[in-house]
Structure 1
Amino acid sequence: MTSQGRIAYQGEPGANSHMVCAQHYPDWEPVPCASFEDVFAAVEGADGNEPSADLAMIPIDNSLAGRVADIHHFLPTSSLHIVAEHFLRIRFNLLGLPGVTLDQVRTVHSHVHALGQCRRIIRKHGFTPVISGDTAGAAREVVEAGDPTMAAISPPLAAEIYGLDVLATDIEDEDHNTTRFVVLSPDFVVAPLGEGPVVTSFIFNVRNLPAALYKALGGFATNGVNMTKLESYMVGGEFAATQFLAEVDGHPDEPGLKRALEELAFFTTDVKILGVYPADPFRSTTA
């Protein structure tokens, strides 16, 4: 089958980001990258090189861990645009070498966040947690070590890729653990108006003055626009101005949101639309 394109993600084959690519872009070639910086560079091109991927799949929020901080660092200066979003219920399995039983396991390897999200099984069996750089990479490490006392906490896809046995399924402590991913493209593709729910993401700066943020956001309230995300972070190492990432329900061509964005411009600087894209159906299940 001919690939429709290449989509980059951070992590090794079998990671959750890889699973999202496989689910929503099955006809695309997944491109694993060591870091988020490498993912952005793969799509944007770096150091005069041509891009090696057409799209990027990036995690932006997790229902337990909150925002993915590195992404908020890259987005404001990136030339890429959000064109889609996808939600993935995060599931972890305990993986061991073929033929190994649960009572043989002594150490469990995984990303630090995954270890923290699976404390119950670790405590129950007295496993010693060992931090790995990546959940799927932990599965690879178990295979390479060939040690029957080692197990990995990894996504289900990793068992298939690395030929490991599943010793326990759905071992995460919370069953609502969900990560939101966004798809980034070098092209600014705007979702059509009137063909379903739309999310608009944007960033803006406000001066560190009394009531500046209140005035900047007032237009969204008075125009009946629902703001679903507002996060702040300092930029440039300075405390005199703050940058905000915001997301709202609606399309910029709708009268209410259009007026709200116009009012926002009066009280802020450097307003930048990151994307206007279809809302994932998952949103309606959590409303």
Structure 2
Amino acid sequence: MTRVTRIAYQGEPGANSHAVCNQHYPDAESVPCASFEDVFAAVDNGEAELAMIPIDNSIAGRVADIHHFLPGSGLHIIAEHFLPIQFTVMGLPGARLDAIETVHSHVHALGQCRRFIREHGLTPTISGDTAGAAREVAEAKDPTQAAIAPPLAAETYGLQILAEDVEDEDHNTTRFVVLSKEMLAAPAGDGPVVTSFVFHVRNIPAALYKALGGFATNGVNMTKLESYMVGGEFVATMFLAEVEAHPDDPGLKRALDELAFFTHEVKVLGVYPADPFRSVRAE
């Protein structure tokens, strides 16, 4: 793969997606995009070599829309990164926490910081995203307004952090995947690997049960299985699955061969190194 010079993400500068780009690709230019469609398009048309996309959150669950965009995007998962989410309350320089009346943030962030908001008697105000909330507070120039956003947003918009670690749960973590036009599969036998794939199960009795049986009998650990509708048909169910194995491993190879008997299609989205965070959280 050519050297990464640009990586696209959804959101405004200072967002968690921006932070994880800086963390893992510090020498690349992080390119903000208004929507997930714009992120996929940026990689597809060559404006960026990679995309950083959130796919799951330990509290909110799966990120909406990604499962629909990814299979037909023509892009491939080449890496995963877990980001523990740290929310801070930020206001104008010189602002005091006891003088704050309203707090702006994304609806999910507000929901994940209910305890702090309630204890301080703040009025929540929904913004498009967390970094956008910080920008809004900076532009409003009102010392009674604050934002709940990642620390990077305070640095980006010249705000002062008034309180740290305001999230209700300390296990709040978002999993991101890195997408590329190139299919860069991790080699077999070189450490833990995750394989992500989608399949379209046949509309026959026990098809899903039989399709998944091969993973159990071959000792393959499936860590994710999610369904979603396609084409507006209630019987046309697509599944996104992830397993901790490499397609060249004999067990997964046999399981995928068995899966093919009960599905219309099986499409591998990526074969990539497992983030060490997986094993840390499992201990």
TM-score (norm 2): 0.98
Q: In the aligned structure 2, how far is the partner of 1:76 from the partner of 1:83?
A: 14
Would you say 1:78 and 2:73 are equivalent positions? Answer: yes
Amino acid aligned to 1:281: P
Q: In the aligned structure 1, how far is the partner of 2:115 from the partner of 2:126?
A: 17
Q: In the aligned structure 2, how far is the partner of 1:42 from the partner of 1:96?
A: 33
Q: In the aligned structure 2, how far is the partner of 1:72 from the partner of 1:284?
A: 25
Match of 1:90 in 2: 85
Match of 1:174 in 2: 169
Match of 1:42 in 2: 42
Match of 2:229 in 1: 234
Structure 2 CA distance for partners of 1:227 and 1:4, relative to 1, 3 Å: closer
Q: In the aligned structure 2, how far is the partner of 1:147 from the partner of 1:270?
A: 55
Match of 2:266 in 1: 271
Would you say 1:219 and 2:240 are equivalent positions? Answer: no
Would you say 1:194 and 2:189 are equivalent positions? Answer: yes
- Structure 2: any 5+ residue segments left out of the alignment? none
Match of 2:15 in 1: 15
Could you list the runs of 4 or more consecutive aligned residues of structure 1 that deviate by over 4 angstroms after TM superposition? none
Q: Deviations over 1:155-177 (max 9, x none)?
A: 01111111111100000000000
Would you say 1:143 and 2:128 are equivalent positions? Answer: no
What displacement does 1:4 show?
Answer: 3.8
Query: Which aligned pairs between 1:243-262 and structure 2 lie closer than 5 A?
Result: 243-262=238-257
What displacement does 1:208 show?
Answer: 2.5
Percent identity over the alignment is 79
SS at match of 1:138: helix
CA contact (8 A) 2:135 2:157 kept: yes
Match of 2:60 in 1: 65
Match of 2:32 in 1: 32
TM-score (norm 1): 0.96
Q: Deviations over 1:106-154 (max 9, x none)?
A: 0000000000000011101111000000100111101111011100000
Q: In the aligned structure 1, how far is the partner of 2:129 from the partner of 2:8?
A: 16
SS at match of 2:233: coil
Q: In the aligned structure 2, how far is the partner of 1:139 from the partner of 1:160?
A: 10
Q: In the aligned structure 2, how far is the partner of 1:200 from the partner of 1:76?
A: 14
CA contact (8 A) 2:4 2:50 kept: no
Q: In the aligned structure 1, how far is the partner of 2:203 from the partner of 2:265?
A: 15
Amino acid aligned to 2:12: E
Question: CA RMSD, aligned part only?
Answer: 0.8
SS at match of 2:234: coil
Q: In the aligned structure 2, how far is the partner of 1:174 from the partner of 1:286?
A: 15
Q: Deviations over 1:153-208 (max 9, x none)?
A: 00011111111111000000000000000000000001011110000000000123
Would you say 1:209 and 2:204 are equivalent positions? Answer: yes
What displacement does 1:239 show?
Answer: 1.5
CA contact (8 A) 2:4 2:49 kept: no
The alignment of Structure 1 onto Structure 2 pairs a total of residues equal to 280
CA contact (8 A) 2:7 2:29 kept: yes
Match of 1:133 in 2: 128
SS at match of 1:69: coil
